[in-house]
Amino acid sequence: MDCSEFSSFICYARSDSRSANCTQIPSAVFTIFGIAFEENFAALKQPTSTTFRIYLLICLVCGLLTVANPAEGQVRRTLTGKVIDASNDRPLSRAKVRSAKYSQRTDAYGWFTLDIVRGERLIVTAAGYQDRRIDYADYRYVDSLKIYISPSAGRGLNTHVAPKAENVYQKDFENVLDYAFLGDTLVVLAHMDYKPRTARADEAYLRNTINFNLYGKDFKRITLPDYVRGIYHDPLDGLWVMGNGYVLEVQRKRDDIHVVRADQEKFRSEVLPMKAVLPGSVFYSEMMPLIPHVTYKVFLESKNRLYPVRYIRNEQYFKDAPGDFRVLEPWELEEARKLEKEHKIDEVFFAPYLRTKVDKVAYDNVVTHAFDVDGKLVIYDVFNGWIYHHDNLGQPVDSMHMYHHKFDGEKYLGMLQDRYTGKCYSLHSRGGSAFIRHIKAATGGAGTPIKLRNSFPENVRVYNGYVYYTYREPNTKEFRKLMREKLP
């Protein structure tokens, strides 16, 4: 490098390279001591001159600082991306994308190019939309990124409210407890009497009936035992009534419907774990007892065998297991061995569970949902924030990040599926109001929030383009009824 370039660059040699590394320094650095290097090139050529010695000192200090704190180019890289409105899949302009101190607004087509800092979270914000936060680990190996953000729930233009709420089912002296749909038939579980929960007993629903309603008219009504809990509609379109200590199966024939007692253990082991039925296969989920771990399995009819396809678990729990096992008390070790014998799971994995009894620090349970969407199994891993797609043989097809379970100011309540259309929705609440959003399986994007007209709805479900829920006016003695609102 020529001496005339000293005012713009400092060069320092690296021991592990034959080439010199240059760090650009502003000219002002060289005039701090009142020395104008541009005007003293001749002095720099004299090794004994004061100017030359000061220059060497500055080079040494700047070189050491550069080694101790590498150039920003070594901890930064450039990311190109596009911000998309998840409600309509259109590019979003003027959204702000930020990584540490660097930020940029998206252009008219939603694009941005941004210097990102290693280890820093990417934050995307826009007026009227939920903030989106993406951890560095989730995009560290990506050079181009599509980011979907969703409209915020509120009173603005981004929130849809149905024009009216219809009363679908209401009977004198009956409260709607639960309901389901069998094709065009509305099935309603109702009760007349109720005993609240006490210190000695759970709440109880008494004088119960199950009603079958077609096009607004009841055509069958069956009296049920006391202490019912609710209705379960399985993926094979079977209908079950769950009660305290019993299970009833609704059997349908061409000219009649009747209810019979079912094997409760078989219901728990074969029906409840069933999540989806695809051509040639049935998918199940299995939760480890006392341990935050869910295994999804597929039963292939062609091979008549059950295969695991996806493990979802609380990673921190399993990281803590070996260490917790080493500090178990003798009585805890004995308890771990009993659990291993009972559940056929290694005793080590029960250690964090046993320690929580002492430390009173519980691990979060793994929450998942799974649906048949367009002939694929779609698993929503709420705990870890992922969406997984599997084909009918259980093979992984696609995966993407899930973000709608962490909206600011909203409580995530779960996922719903319209069995008639196959569409999936998320359910949230905020200050007593309920909001649902269409979740697009292909992108994971959450659509426009739809606010239900009545506050504090219960048993929210979606069927054939309507959202249904049970409702009772607050602070009144009226009976709980079934309402519905038309989705846009």
Nearest to 415 by CA among 463, 460, 455: 460
Task: Quick: pLDDT tens for 86-103.
Answer: 988 999 999 999 998 899
Q: With helix as H, strand as E and coil as C, how does the chain read?
A: CCHHHCCCEEEEECCCCCCEEEEECCHHHHHCCCCCHHHCHHHHCCCCCHHHHHHHHHHHHHHHHHHHCCCHHHCEEEEEEEEEECCCCEECCCCEEEECCEEEECCCCCEEEEEEECCCCEEEECCCECCEEECHHHCCCCCEEEEEECECCCCCCCCEECCCCEEEECCCCCEEEEEEEECCEEEEEEEEEEECCCCCCCCEEEEEEEEEEECCEEEEEEEECCCEEEEEECCCCCEEEEECCEEEEEEECCCCEEEEECCHHHHHHHHCCEEEEECCEEEEEEECCCCCEEEEEEEECCCCEEEEEEEEECHHHHHHHHHHHHCCCHHHHHHHHHHHHHHCCCHHHHHHHHHHHHHCCCCCCCCEEEEEECCEEEEEECCCCEEEEECCCCCEEEEEECCHHHCCCCEEEEEEECCCCCCEEEEEEECCEEEEEEECCCCCCECCCEECCCCCCEEEEEECCEEEEEECCCCCCCCCEEEEEECC
Q: What does the pLDDT look like over 460-475, one tens digit per residue?
A: 999 999 999 999 988 7
Question: What's the rounded Cα separation, in Å, for the pair 385 and 457?
Answer: 26
Provide the b/e sequence for 139-176 (b: ≥16 CB within 10 Å): beeeeebebbbbbbbeeeebbbebeebeebbbeeebbb
Tell me what percent of the residues of the chain surpass a pLDDT of 70.
Answer: 82
What's residue 140's pLDDT?
A: 80
For residue 266 the two structure tokens come to: 């078989």
CA angle 345, 351, 353 (to 5 degrees): 95
pLDDT: which is higher, 105 or 50: 105
Q: Please give the mean pLDDT across all residues of the chain.
A: 84
CA of residue 449 relative to chain centroid, distance: 17
Torsion of CA 457, 460, 462, 467, to 10 degrees: 0
How confident is the model over 139-153, as a mean pLDDT? Answer: 86
Amino acid in position 234: D
**Cα Rg, the chain, nearest whole Å:** 32
- Tell me which of 2.60.40.1120, 3.50.50.60, 1.10.150.120, 2.60.450.10 is the CATH number of domain 74-149: 2.60.40.1120
The candidate with the shortest Cα–Cα distance to 308, out of 275, 290, 340, 286, is 286
**pLDDT beyond 70 at 150:** yes
What are the tens digits of pLDDT across the range 366-423? Answer: 999 999 999 999 999 999 999 999 999 999 999 998 888 889 889 999 999 999 999 9
Top-confidence residue, 358 or 144: 144
**In the predicted structure, residue 28 carries a pLDDT above the cut 50:** no
Q: Confidence class of residue 137 from pLDDT cuts 50, 70 and 90? A: confident
Q: What is the pLDDT of residue 473?
A: 84
Tell me the pairing of strands 90-91 and 185-195: unpaired
CA dist 228 and 208 (Å) reads 7
* Predicted local confidence at residue 53, as pLDDT: 66
Per-domain boundaries in the chain: 3-69, 74-149
Residue 359 reports pLDDT greater than 70: no
The pLDDT value given to residue 63: 56
Per-residue pLDDT for 67 more than 50?
no
At 8 the pLDDT is 35
d(Cα 232, Cα 28) in Å, to the nearest integer? 75
Average the pLDDT over 420-435 and give the result: 94
**Band of the pLDDT at 5, cuts 50, 70, 90?**
very low
> Contact 168/468 with Cβ under 8 angstroms?
yes
For the ranges 23-27, 102-106, 216-220, the maximum mean pLDDT occurs at 102-106
Rounded to two decimals, the pTM is 0.79
| Contact in structure between 465 and 438 (CB atoms under 8 Å) | no
Identify any residues that bridge with 433 across adjacent strands, giving them in sequence order: 430
User: Which pairing describes strands 293-300 and 281-287: parallel, antiparallel, or unpaired?
Assistant: antiparallel
Rounded CA-CA distance 62/56 in Å is 10
Q: What is the mean pLDDT of residues 262-271?
A: 94
Phi-psi region of 23 (alpha: psi -120 to 50; beta: other; left: phi over 0): beta
In this predicted structure, what is the pLDDT of residue 23? 38
Alpha-carbon gap, residue 446 to 427, rounded angstroms:
11
